[in-house]
Copies of this chain bind each other. A is one copy, B any other.
Amino acid sequence: METNNLKKAGLKVTLPRMKILEILETSETRHLSAEAIYRELLDSGEEIGLATVYRVLTQFEAAGLVCRLHLEGNQAVFELERGGHHDHIVCNQCGRVEEFFDETIERRQSEVAQQHGFSIKDHALVLYGDCLDSACPYRPA
């Protein structure tokens, strides 16, 4: 049961938190904006305010349950934390977000930081391009 995640994170189990967690767990799209989550809640008949969605997501982030990503564009997106760290590729055409992890890049980042006299704590890497997937509805000819 998902309520365990909430309890483990030290968060009181409430209906809004459960519903939001459920959406993050079951949605097709793994990367959702607060607005998108809010709309899904409305669609499923929940009366949960947008402010609560933002508040809960911020708490989830602090608790390590979700990651917040700042892609190009103004809205942040949130994804469920599923263990491993990874970076992202975003399609400029269709907006699809894919995940990847590259050991070489990770290692070089640490080395470069060290060379510059930094103790690296975190990083943000997003690649932007056009996906060549034949299923992409916006694929350029």
Q: Which residues of B contact A129 (CB under 8 A)?
A: 113, 118-122
Interface string of A88-121 (1 = CB under 8 A from B): 0101100000101010110011001101111111
A123 in contact (CB, < 8 A): yes
Q: Is the Cβ of B118 less than 8 Å from the Cβ of A131?
A: yes
Q: Closest B-chain residue to A132, C-beta based?
A: B117
A124 in contact (CB, < 8 A): yes
In the complex, chain A residues 47-101 whose Cβ is within 8 Å of any chain B Cβ: 70, 72, 89, 91-92, 98, 100
Give Cα distance in the complex from A73 to B117, angstroms.
Answer: 23
Give Cα distance in the complex from A119 to B121, angstroms.
Answer: 30
6 tightest CB-CB pairs across the interface, nearest first?
A120-B129, A118-B129, A122-B128, A123-B127, A125-B125, A121-B129
